[in-house]
Amino acid sequence: MKPTDRDKWDDRYREREVASARAAEVLCDHLHLVPRSGSALDLACGLGANALLLAARGLAVEAWDRSPVAVEKLAAAARRGGLDLHEEGRIGDLDAGLRNVAQLIARRP
């Protein structure tokens, strides 16, 4: 059977640990502008470096990815750090929509 995109990401994340993931440069460079409370959504979070950074800042973070391997590693890291990661990460396929999160999501193409 042909490996799916999810299988490929799962394989990559089996080889990696959360500590090896780096948050986006733009987020690190502008962290002082990010509020210390409220909520954040990290879509296609992978090992969740962005989610963990935002949770450590004080935000309640929901993190989604289609890779169960990544989400489980992220959830374990959040638990160890006592961080507020909603539902401890979610295994979700963005292609299936995000009806429980928002009715409309805009992104720059």
Ligand X SMILES: C[S@@+](CC[C@H](N)C(=O)[O-])C[C@H]1O[C@@H](n2cnc3c(N)ncnc32)[C@H](O)[C@@H]1O
Binding site for ligand X (CB under 6 A): 9, 21, 24, 44-46, 49, 65-67, 70, 92-95
Q: Which is nearer to ligand X, 62 or 65 (CB)?
A: 65
Q: How far is CA 77 from CA 40, 46, 86, 92, in A?
A: 18, 13, 13, 19
Give the nearest distance from C-beta 36 to ligand X in angstroms.
Answer: 22
Q: What is the DSSP string of 36-77?
A: SSSEEEEET-TT-HHHHHHHHHT-EEEEEES-HHHHHHHHHH
Q: Which is nearer to ligand X, 29 or 95 (CB)?
A: 95
- Chain position carrying tokens 């409370």: 37
Give the nearest distance from C-beta 13 to ligand X in angstroms.
Answer: 7
Give the nearest distance from C-beta 96 to ligand X in angstroms.
Answer: 8
Q: Which is nearer to ligand X, 95 or 106 (CB)?
A: 95
| Closest CB to ligand X: residue number | 46
Give the nearest distance from C-beta 82 to ligand X in angstroms.
Answer: 22
CA distance 34 to 14: 31
